[in-house]
Chains A and B, each alone.
Chain A
Amino acid sequence: MIGVWHYLAVAAVLFGLGLVGFLTRRNLITMFLCAELMLQGVVLNLVAFSKFHGNLSGQVFGLVVITVAACEAGMAMALFVLLYRRAKTLDASDWQGVREDQIPAAPEEAGPPMAEPAPAYPTLTPAGARPSAGEEAPARV
């Protein structure tokens, strides 16, 4: 019989994974995904308790949280796009500008070795009108 404790355990695992991921990863998108993971862990808790108590408050909460998370995702992704356009990077440690004056920037640590760049495979032409010659499409992420 799967009881409330099972749900809670799964939720805790989700939350823990999210937490560790958020603290250790430097890629903004990964960090965001980890944050979502934590959020979903909490929502799972809410739903589990809702079932346990036999009322719908928790589920309602859960729905609200999911809605909020959706908005948040939209906002966060939009911001990441802007950030990327500015510095062409998604490394969170490159955005230290909000630190106090006179505090030195954290030293750049060597990340894990970069994977070999993928060879330039031929690509399909996009559907639609043929792009005019000489005009390079701006980098889209």
Chain B
Amino acid sequence: MSETTLAMAVVLLPLLAAVATTVLRPLRLVHLAHVPAVVGFGAAAVLAFWLLLQVQDAKVPSFINAPIPWFSLGNLRVTVSIHVDPLSATMLATVTFVAAWIAIFSAGYMHGDSGYDRYFAVMGLFVFSMCLLVLANNFLLLVAGWEGVGLCSYLLVGYYYAKPSAAAAARKAFLVTRLGDVGFLLGIFLLWQAGHYEMNLNQLFTNLVLHPPSDGTLTTACLLLFCGAVGKSAQFPLYVWLPDAMEGPTPVSALIHAATMVTAGVYLLARCAPIYAMSSAATATVALIGGITACLAAFLAVGQTDLKRVLAYSTVSQLGFMFMALGCMRAITPGIAVAAAIFHLFTHAFFKALLFLGSGSVMHAMGGVDIRKFGGLRRLMPVTHLTFLAGAAALAGIPPLAGFWSKDQILDALNEACDSDSPNGAIYAIVLGLALIAAAMTAFYTFRAYFLTFWGEERIPPEAGHHAHESPWVMLAPLCVLAVGAVFAGIAVEPFGNGFSHFLSRSPSVELANVVYAKQTNLIPIEHPHLNLTVAGVGMGLAFLGFGLAAVLYRKGGPEVVPPMLVPVFEASKNKLYVDEIYNATVVKPAEVLATASRQVDGAVGSLARLVAFLPKAVGTFLRPLQNGLVQFYALGMVLGLAVFLTLVVARFTR
């Protein structure tokens, strides 16, 4: 089987699973709805790993299928064309692997729900769209996947449709990401125009590199593309939808809002590395936005009392880390920056999915995720506790867990960027500072949540009922598998030998980015990152600092005790710095007022038309009495008119 056929199979298997799920209801087999998904995702994961191995062995790791036309007219040619390279193969494997385990977890978590089949059908559609997004070699095909995952996110966030908050969250998620997509589309078309009317990604990059457009165009296009990423990957200022999206079932949060969909923005930028490598202003902006997001979201996570929201803000923050790495693309070798970002994406997928599933397990037992209501669960739920601890430690960046290595690489990249002779060195210095603060806060809020949930006296809320026990094995197995990933995924692939970076750097787009970098800066691209012990030490120190602080404050569990002088800070964090309220007052409400005003204005415009109609009406009032319905009156009118006419004619011709 050729590589692209294999990739096609990976894409289509989840779709097939989704379609198969839809026929279960007529067959009265709803309780088996998880089977197609688990089988489909599992098979896709196996194939994806096989594909990964093949790509690794290939001499030239780039495979493009014979494009299937979708639509084309004039210069716009859109084809279903997929591209397998180390970057997309890695993403594909990550996505399908995590999806398969989450599907297994969902089989336990969603058991007995009335929309069981609906859930798995949309999940299938989601994995399909995500794979399409990852493999697309045509910008508009990528958009198709991009919008597809957005739709599935919408449907799954609004899964509990009768709940008004879920409905609101679903709409918010959809709209905020769509807002980013406005820029995304414009950016795509700007690049299309600048790149000789080409939609095929690889070809487009080549065109742009060979005939670079003006700096302004390029920077604008990059920033517009980044708008899409900001929306999808929940970056400042469009991050507000992600915490609300926690209204969906927890496995959904794990898959879509932690491991896969939200990383689409990161993947997009990594895929478009060649063009970002050309624009220093755009990359610096990316880094700055990433830094602000990472720091802000970490701060907001500190005060949250809802376990899932802590994790949601943590996701936003970690995505910020990835964008920081991507933002170094022009300052340091792009291959290194991309590798750092994708490496973090890879490890993050494991430990964040694990944390979400762990919180799902807690939620399953406790009937809610408000950490004020329960505590001391480590004896009640030992497996959940241990796996959660693994995830938390990985997230906090405790060596030698996965998160440590990937975060270290990002800090390393930022450090390099500060030292580079990039004109934006000062910005990178600020970003590095933000990253360090965020790293410390990450460890703190992670362990705050961990201690409050699992340590101290055992407290079980009344709504837990008879569920207050360890989850069934169908849910624990995925936890264990992901925990293994969270612990070993980092150390296994990168630090010794830089296998991951090497592998990724062989992607054609990354290589092209390296070439661009070399051409523009006259520097030789660096082969692989080298461990900077100072940075690693500082990172480790900050992680332990956060952990220590959390341990001191919350080790005893119980109700949260906040140091009195920090109460306002915690309050601000808990209330999300009132960002939602500010947005509501400055964007949503004015828009609604504008809408109402437009409606009123429309009435006025309508009456303008009536004004035009008034003129004939006014004339009509004078002429109307002539229509009195008497035949003889009309006849008289005709006779008189004829008389006048004849008089004129006679006068004219006898003069």
Chains A and B come from one and the same complex: yes
Residues of A within 8 A of B632 (CB): 22-24, 26, 92-93
Tell whether A95 is near chain B: CB-to-CB under 8 Å. Answer: yes
Which A residues form the contact surface with B (CB < 8 A)?
19, 22-24, 26, 31, 92-93, 95-100, 102-103, 105-106
B446 CB to nearest A CB, Å: 81
* Closest chain B residue, CB of each to CB of A96: B629
Residues of A within 8 A of B630 (CB): 92-93, 96, 99, 106
Given A93-B630, A105-B629, A106-B630, A100:B624 Cβ within 8 A: yes
Bound CA–CA A22/B635 (angstroms): 8
* Top 5 A-B residue pairs of the complex, sorted by shortest distance between their CB atoms: A99-B629, A96-B629, A100-B627, A100-B624, A99-B628
User: Do the beta carbons of B631 and A103 come within 8 Å of each other?
Assistant: no
User: Do the beta carbons of B629 and A97 come within 8 Å of each other?
Assistant: yes
Bound CA–CA A103/B629 (angstroms): 9
User: A-side binding surface: helix, strand, loop or mixed?
Assistant: loop
Q: Which residues of B546-569 are within 8 A (CB) of A?
A: none
* Chain B 633-652 near chain A by CB (<8 Å), digits 1 or 0: 00110010000000000000
User: Do the beta carbons of B639 and A103 come within 8 Å of each other?
Assistant: no
Tell whether B625 is near chain A: CB-to-CB under 8 Å. Answer: yes
| In-complex Cβ contact of B629 among A23, A24, A31, A98 (8 A) | A98
Bound CA–CA A31/B628 (angstroms): 19
Interface size class of B (residues with CB under 8 A): 10 to 19
B641 CB to nearest A CB, Å: 13
Given A31-B631, A95-B631, A96-B630, A103:B636 Cβ within 8 A: no
Bound CA–CA A81/B630 (angstroms): 19
B373 CB to nearest A CB, Å: 74
Residues of A within 8 A of B628 (CB): 96, 99-100, 103, 106
Residues of B within 8 A of A24 (CB): 632
User: Do the beta carbons of A23 and B624 come within 8 Å of each other?
Assistant: no
Bound CA–CA A103/B620 (angstroms): 12
Residues of B within 8 A of A102 (CB): 624
Residues of B within 8 A of A92 (CB): 630-632
* Closest chain A residue, CB of each to CB of B628: A99
Bound CA–CA A103/B623 (angstroms): 11
- Given A24-B632, A98-B627, 8 more A-B residue pairs with CB atoms under 8 Å apart are A19-B639, A23-B636, A92-B631, A99-B627, A100-B624, A103-B624, A103-B625, A106-B630
Residues of A within 8 A of B639 (CB): 19, 23
Bound CA–CA A99/B636 (angstroms): 16
Residues of B within 8 A of A100 (CB): 624-625, 627-628
* Closest chain A residue, CB of each to CB of B642: A19
Bound CA–CA A41/B624 (angstroms): 34
A-B contact pairs, 26 of them (CB 8 A): A23-B635, A23-B636, A23-B639, A26-B632, A31-B631, A92-B631, A92-B632, A93-B630, A93-B632, A95-B631, A96-B628, A96-B629, A96-B630, A98-B627, A99-B628, A100-B625, A100-B627, A102-B624, A103-B624, A103-B625, A103-B628, A103-B629, A105-B629, A106-B628, A106-B629, A106-B630
Residues of A within 8 A of B624 (CB): 100, 102-103
Bound CA–CA A97/B631 (angstroms): 11
Bound CA–CA A23/B631 (angstroms): 9
B406 CB to nearest A CB, Å: 83
* Closest chain A residue, CB of each to CB of B623: A100
Bound CA–CA A95/B628 (angstroms): 11
Residues of A within 8 A of B635 (CB): 22-23
A124 CB to nearest B CB, Å: 38
Bound CA–CA A77/B572 (angstroms): 95
Residues of B within 8 A of A105 (CB): 629
Residues of B within 8 A of A19 (CB): 639
Bound CA–CA A31/B635 (angstroms): 11
* Closest chain B residue, CB of each to CB of A106: B630
Bound CA–CA A23/B638 (angstroms): 11
Bound CA–CA A93/B633 (angstroms): 10
* Chain B 378-394 near chain A by CB (<8 Å), digits 1 or 0: 00000000000000000
Residues of A within 8 A of B625 (CB): 100, 103
A34 CB to nearest B CB, Å: 10
A78 CB to nearest B CB, Å: 17
* Closest chain A residue, CB of each to CB of B636: A23
Residues of B within 8 A of A98 (CB): 627, 629
Bound CA–CA A100/B635 (angstroms): 17
Most chain B beta carbons < 10 A, residue from A31, A92, A96, A99? A99
Residues of B within 8 A of A99 (CB): 627-630
Most chain A beta carbons < 10 A, residue from B624, B625, B631? B631
Bound CA–CA A31/B639 (angstroms): 15
